[in-house]
Amino acid sequence: MSAQTADFQDLFRRVQPAEGGREVFDPATGESVGRAPEASVEDLDAAVARAKAAQPGWAARSDQQRSQLLHSAADAIETHAEGLARLLSQEQGKPLNGPNARFEVGACVAWLRATAEFTLEPEVLVDDDSGKAVLHWRPLGVVGAIGPWNWPMMISIWQLAPSLRQGNTVVIKPSGYTPLSVLALVEVLNTALPQEVLIAVPGRGEVGDRLSRHPDVAKIMFTGSTATGRSIIKAAADTVKRLTMELGGNDAGIVLEDADPEAIAEDLFWGAFINTGQTCAALKRLYVPEPLYDQVCQALVEVAKNMPMGVGLEEQNVLGPLQNKAQWEIVDRLVTAAKDSGARVLIGAEPERNTAGYFYPTTLIADIDPQNPLVVEEQFGPALPIIKYTDLDQAIEWANSLTEALGSSVWSSNPDRAEEVASRLVAGTTWINKHGAIDPRVPFGGARESGFGLEFGLEGLKEVSQPHIISQ
């Protein structure tokens, strides 16, 4: 065992309770990963009190100091990168390689460093004979962060990095499915950060609910399902909390007639199957024009056949299991509905049942009705419906017909044409010839019931700040 691995093991032991807690299992093998502590609502209250006490001191540091501390936190992740990636792989299921566990840990570093480099300057709004008005960005206080199980480390960083950068302290509640990844990440970050500015409180929905109602929490950053988002919006109403809601997506991709099927196949594949389909802004329904339909289907099958799925810690794999049984059942129900409707299976759709791991084979479904449940419900797994269209206006109408509107994409060899179609799509982001390609400099957020508020870049910093105007 290398010194670095041994250090990580020590740190990982620290986040587990000496006794009790809840055993967490590897979704690929069913083997134990470790024991997660379970906090009570009283523990949450105590954590918020500590974060509240620490906040003025944190806010009083200079902007430059907070920036440097975020860089130091990024250094700490780099030191423990392999340990974190292996734990993430075992707990979440995602393989080490491909756009998965090592990639996710790398993204944590990239987002921390990018956030450290942004600075939100005061804005002079008026400065003339009539007077002077300046907009300042103050800390909000304590920010509550509630996250999902699909990208547990990266999404935690998206929530906590801008919050800390702006002088807030953070209480973070990880998903009950992936508590250890977030607890270990926070333990690593806290080797660099001052005490009590970042506190993790592992617990179930009731702990998240208390955080959403807590009078001393100024803002909730939430990423998760639209259903939970609705509960949090209601819970936060009594104390008029600020909210950023990153909710469910059912992203459409539209291929135009001038696209080159061979050239786009691999990017289409990863747009849909990144993290084995368990990604908010993954391509979840693909609309293809009739003249290209067979070629696109065939090109996707060729890519899919060559992407190994298996246990995360085995280096050759790039696709893994579903993270949990409930999600496996959603995917199985939707694929079964598609098959029962007479849709054509291009590959996959025959899962092994009653195995230790929650594996669902890479599945492509053609000749499917645009209103089939696999198309109109979020599958959040490795099953992509490919819908044929003959009229582009109709395809755009289908793409825009759902209450979810997180991302979307247009695939074409003509940039002007692609942009024209992109402008007609309703979404927080529309990508051209790629899907889900996020960047810490480019704001990201949803439209319609996919949520509100923006993350990343200067817009992301504004979301965790209180605008304060001084007018004279």
Chain residues that interact with ligand NAD, rule: CB under 6 A: 146-150, 155, 173, 175-176, 204-205, 208-209, 212, 223-225, 228, 231-232, 246-249, 280, 378, 380, 406, 446, 450-451
Our CB check for ligand NAD shows the closer of 77 and 232 to be: 232
Asked about 121 being catalytic, the answer comes back as no
Number of other residues whose CB lies within 10 A of the CB of residue 391: 10
Considering beta carbons, is residue 109 or 247 the nearer one to ligand NAD?
Answer: 247
Residue 402 CB, shortest distance to ligand NAD, in Å, is: 13
What are the CA-CA distances from residue 118 to residues 88, 108, 156 (Å)?
28, 16, 18
280 is catalytic: yes
101-117 vs 81-92: helix crossing angle, rounded to 10 = 120
Tokens in use for 68?
A: 């440097």
Write out the E strands in 279-406: 283-289, 344-347, 363-366, 383-389, 404-405
Distance CA 283, CA 294 (A): 19
Q: From its phi and psi, is residue 18 left (phi > 0), alpha (psi between -120 and 50) or beta?
A: alpha
The nearer residue to ligand NAD, 55 or 156, going by C-beta atoms, is 156
What's the closest the beta carbon of residue 87 comes to ligand NAD, in angstroms?
18
Nearer to ligand NAD, 301 or 455 (CB): 455
Nearest distance from residue 247's CB to ligand NAD, in Å? Answer: 5
Query: Of the listed 280, 449, 455, 463, which one is catalytic?
Result: 280
Output 323 or 362, the one with its CB closest to ligand NAD: 323
Which among 104, 246, 404, 449 is annotated as catalytic? 246
d(CA 429, CA 146): 23
Find the residue with minimal CB distance to ligand NAD: 208
Among 44, 352, 206, 350, residue whose Cα is nearest residue 365: 350
4: Cβ contacts below 8 Å, ≥ 6 apart: 79, 80, 82, 83
Asked if 415 and 314 count as a contact pair (C-beta separation under 8 A), the reply is no
Please enumerate in sequence order all residues whose Cβ is within 8 A of that of 433, keeping only pairs 6 or more positions apart, or say none.
264, 267, 409, 410, 411, 412, 418
Minimum distance, C-beta of residue 395 to ligand NAD, in the bound complex (Å)? 22
> Minimal distance in Å, beta carbon 231 to ligand NAD?
4
Catalytic residues: 246, 280
